[in-house]
A = this chain, B = another copy of it.
Amino acid sequence: MPQLPPVKNVLYIMCDQLRRDYLSCYGHPHLHTPNIDRLAAAGVRFSRAYTQGTICGPSRMSAYTGRYVSSHQVAWNAVPLPLEELTLGDYLRPHGIRTALVGKTHATANVDALQRLAIDPDSQQAEIFNEVGFEAYARHDGIYPDSPLFDDKRDSAPYTHYLRDLGYDGANPWHDWANAGAAEDGEVLSGWHMRNAHLPARVQEQHSETVFTTDRAIDFIQEQGEQPWCLHLSYIKPHWPYIAPAPYHALYGHEHVLAPIRPTKASDHPVYTAFRQHEESQNFSRDEVRLNVIPTYMGLIKQVDDQLGRLFDLLQSTGRWDDTLIVFTSDHGDFLGDHFLGEKEFLLEPAVGVPLIVRDPRAAADATRGTVDERLAETIDALPTFLQALGITGAEHRLEGRSLIPLLHGHNPAWREYAISEYDYAFQAPARERLGQPIDRCRMTMVRSERWKYLAYDGFRAQLFDLDNDPQELNDLGADPAYAAVREQHAGYLFDWLRGLKRRTTISHQEVDRRAESFRYGEPETEKVVKIGVW
């Protein structure tokens, strides 16, 4: 590829728990998202993008490090990222690019490692690590349960202060106003309970989380003016608690709820069967629950789209649309009762498929604007894309994703044969105990090739789905002898992937090359420092 002038800014927009197919540009028949569609029309929409982990923490750490979950080690939520993993901010900061967070990261301070290094976890020195490399311009992780465990986080959260300053009172205004409705007698009805999903949230729409988050993003962009920036705009929604402020609570009705995707004869796979027994799966398997929750889920997405309209208008009116690389994506999906499952852990399409829209403002990307790219993309591709767009090199020994820039510019490079996603149910006692698996043998790994999805399990047979002929994954071919060769091929992909994980991250390829020179024998211009095996 020819060398291009770099882009100036990066806007990395992420939703939380947004299914790929709940956007009109990805085909939802009732949920119209004209602003996200506007971005797709101005960029490239990846139709087969996958997250590397199906819950927040693992997925996000893959996004921020450009590495698979098995490499960055954040196997579950609230597992600390090793301090030595470099993140988006770590790569950009040395180049003078302010890299800020507005919204959620799900980052967990690596207190043990900090203490071992004699760094006070509450110190200024620790902050950049606690924030996984971001400047926490306005961190809003969104979930503040009524538990002493969360008191500190809630009381220091900017959104808590914002609500209190506006007169929303109580110990937990996040819960009591933004994530609760009210009974006719005024009783506070918690958004934690899905039976309350149809109620309007008690907060006014202009004070809700999605608007607050957008406001802070606009503040940051305006504050930066002509200075270069990277902003991670990371909405907590449409993640549960499923409750929306008026009018979004009532935009959609039962008639807009699509029929669930459910096999006539469900797979008897033991891990799938165990996941179906989770409380959220049991609840979402009831029509009553789906019909109460999904319209609100749609309303929450509609609100995000409206807010992105505000933001995109600002970018266009200030010239930022023309010098900013924009990515829109989600950290994972939501089963919403499909496959008789709730939540998102299991590695089927409703959870593992994510929207991914990328707009490169440069003229080199003009030819692909508005196109759909079917190549397999991964969440870990965002960071290499940003680095290439900004002209930053030298991280090949760490990065496991691939820059999408060549694709945006109409090139046709050799591309990946399969996408990978991982989930570890060691952290879910019910499934682990039902299945009788030891704590380090609870891994599920997806290998998704052009046609097939292969799901490998510790201790159980694989599952296999033919996505060409069975895009809804209704028919598990994992035990069918006719597909033994396909399974073997995908086990081979899994081997190649394991073998190819980057496992020499403390020195660069360039440094390896420099040192290798000292082994070049017989060239007088190179002095060998250590004289091995000389007679």
Contacts and interface: CB of A to CB of B under 8 A. Distances in A.
A68 B211 CA distance: 49
Interface residues of A, number: 86
A113 interface: yes
A516 B428 contact: yes
A512 B70 CA distance: 16
B503 A194 contact: no
A143 B116 CA distance: 31
A118 B124 CA distance: 11
Interface string A365-406: 000000000000000000000000000000011000000000
B80 A279 contact: no
Given A112-B506, A117-B117, A427-B515, A527 B147 contact: yes
Nearest to A284: B533
A143 to B, nearest CB: 6
A180 to B, nearest CB: 13
B149 A519 contact: no
A81 B506 contact: yes
A503 B70 contact: yes
B506 A80 contact: yes
Determine which residue in A76, A129, A396 has the highest number of CB atoms from chain B within 10 A of its CB, and name it.
Answer: A76
Determine which residue in A76, A491, A533 has the highest number of CB atoms from chain B within 10 A of its CB, and name it.
Answer: A533
A415 interface: no
Contacts of A458: 499
Contacts of A460: none
A534 interface: yes
Contact of A110 (B500, B506, B522): B506
A530 B143 contact: yes
Contact of A283 (B79, B443, B533): B533
A75 interface: yes
13 contacts: A79-B506, A80-B506, A81-B506, A82-B506, A84-B113, A84-B116, A110-B506, A117-B129, A193-B534, A194-B534, A427-B516, A429-B520, A498-B498
Given A117-B129, A343-B532, 7 more contacts: A80-B506, A83-B84, A279-B534, A284-B533, A342-B533, A439-B509, A439-B512
Going nearest first, the 6 A-B pairs with the smallest beta carbon separation are: A280-B533, A429-B516, A498-B498, A192-B531, A75-B504, A80-B506
